Structure 1
Amino acid sequence: MSYMLPHLHNGWQVDQAILSEEDRVIVIRFGHDWDPTCM
């Protein structure tokens, strides 16, 4: 299911994702796509 999530590869992308969303909840997941414990 993680293939549906946007992948943020650096700090700037994380900052932009947080700053561009005014009315939504942002969930940040740290880990690997292949690791089921990260989901």
Structure 2
Amino acid sequence: MLFETIWAHSAEATREQLVDTLHAQLAARTQETDDVPSPS
């Protein structure tokens, strides 16, 4: 709900920045997960 409120009251440039930041963080976490060997 907090994110929705921020999103609804943000300018387009801020929304783009939020999306870019989320994308970069998700990509970094995916990379970290890929670097961890599988336990099997």
TM (norm. structure 1) is: 0.38
Structure showing greater radius of gyration is: 2
Greater helix share, 1 or 2?
Answer: 2
TM (norm. structure 2) is: 0.37
